[in-house]
Structure 1
Amino acid sequence: MKRFLTPVPAPDPTSPGQESVWNFPRPARIEPVTSRLKVEFAGRVVADTVNGFRAIETSHPPSYYFPPSDVDRGLLRTASKRTLCEWKGGAAYFDLVAGTRVSEDAVWSYPDPVSDFAPITGYLAFYPARVDACFVDGERVVPQEGSFYGGWITSKVAGPFKGPPGTAGW
């Protein structure tokens, strides 16, 4: 039996058209999306696509991955940060730089993900809390809490969401 550091909460009720993050799979998986995804930083559109992927995992709002061709790569600077995801593999990070504005480690990518995540090889994901705004089909995203997580919360997903203090054991 798996033990949790903190009690796992009951899922929030869902409204019509919503998904519960508690019905998302574990391990994580990716799915193509045709929603319009957009990221803004320093008065510029950094990324804009209808050809993205979303990663979904139990208790997490989705994170979204943009094809490199739909990102203004001139605003990216390679960062030294590297992390390892138990599902996707090793991630590389980028800073966003626009004029005098810099957002460190605002973007991540999997240059060589495990085979189940091969479709997002080289795709770019953005931390909503480290940019000025992110949108899904025109709806402004609320960033997932916590400095480690990069989930995008919209009215289409119901929580509670992992990230705030006390949720690390979920």
Structure 2
Amino acid sequence: MIRRHSLPGFSRRPRPDKPGAGQESVWDYPRPPKVEPRAERVVVRLGGQTIADTTDAVRVLETSHPPVYYLPVDAFPPGVLVPVKGSTFCEFKGEARYFDVVAGAVVAPRAGWTYPDPAPGFEDLSTRVALYPGRMDSCEVDGERVTSQEGDFYGGWITSRIVGPFKGGPGTAGW
């Protein structure tokens, strides 16, 4: 008999960290994910420049993942988001399209993405862009610098208000 957790890339579901006052656990997030409007101030810097500063973000919450923040396309100056070829598919949100993110002489390849024609329930993402925080100089939520989610696939934004453990690192594929 083969046990799922003994296969390469799989591990048992971890024990969730207990959230403290004012914190939330990613293990309380839903699946399928949900979109949640936020009024926090989100600031993104790249190439020594502020490339987005908004209080009109939404975040996507999904079990075991730190939130992914989506910012309005119009929060970015012209020329910062450069569409590139290729796409990926999310079983919940639909087809994602990518951007190189450019500021001054710095180019972060395929560091942003959008869902121009999202699946039902995710319409709020159609005019918004998510960014991999680890590919930016910095991302902040209400003045707190974000830590990026481990791995090169997910784009979660980790703050002190979010507890895990988080999917994305080695051995988490089976969660």
Which TM-score band applies after superposition, normalised by the shorter structure?
Answer: over 0.9
In structure 2, how many angstroms separate the alpha carbons of the residues matched to 1:73 and 1:165? 37
Which AA in structure 1 matches 2:110? D
In structure 2, how many angstroms separate the alpha carbons of the residues matched to 1:72 and 1:59? 33
The match for 1:28 among 6, 30, 33 is: 33
Whether 1:77 aligns to 2:89 is no
CA-CA distance at 1:100 after TM superposition: 2.4
Pairs within 5 Å for 1:44-83:
44-83=49-88
CA-CA distance at 1:163 after TM superposition: 0.6
CA-CA distance at 1:80 after TM superposition: 1.4
SS at match of 1:116: coil
CA distances 1:120-156 after superposition (whole Å, capped 9, x unpaired): 2121111001111000000000000000010000001
- Alignment match, 1:42: 47
Q: Does the CA-based 8 Å contact 1:81-1:105 persist in structure 2?
A: no
1:73–1:63 Cα change, 3 Å: farther
- Alignment match, 2:135: 130
In structure 2, how many angstroms separate the alpha carbons of the residues matched to 1:36 and 1:53? 11
* Identical counterparts, % of pairs: 52
CA RMSD of aligned residues (A): 1.1
CA distances 1:3-52 after superposition (whole Å, capped 9, x unpaired): 66310000012110000000000011101000111110001111111111
Q: Does the CA-based 8 Å contact 2:47-2:105 persist in structure 1?
A: no
Whether 1:15 aligns to 2:14 is no
Whether 1:107 aligns to 2:77 is no
Which AA in structure 2 matches 1:138? G
- Count of aligned pairs: 168
The match for 1:140 among 141, 145, 151 is: 145
Pairs within 5 Å for 1:79-98:
79-98=84-103
In structure 1, how many angstroms separate the alpha carbons of the residues matched to 2:42 and 2:117? 23
Which AA in structure 2 matches 1:156? R
1:19–1:98 Cα change, 3 Å: same
- Could you tell me the TM-score, scaled by structure 1's length? 0.95
Which AA in structure 2 matches 1:60? H
In structure 1, how many angstroms separate the alpha carbons of the residues matched to 2:139 and 2:94? 25
In structure 1, how many angstroms separate the alpha carbons of the residues matched to 2:164 and 2:37? 22
SS at match of 2:171: coil
In structure 1, how many angstroms separate the alpha carbons of the residues matched to 2:61 and 2:22? 17
Q: Does the CA-based 8 Å contact 2:51-2:103 persist in structure 1?
A: no
Of residues 68-77 and 145-154 in structure 1, the stretch that sits farther from structure 2 once superposed is: 68-77
SS at match of 2:123: helix
Q: Please identify the structure whose Cα radius of gyration is greater.
A: 2
In structure 2, how many angstroms separate the alpha carbons of the residues matched to 1:42 and 1:139? 19
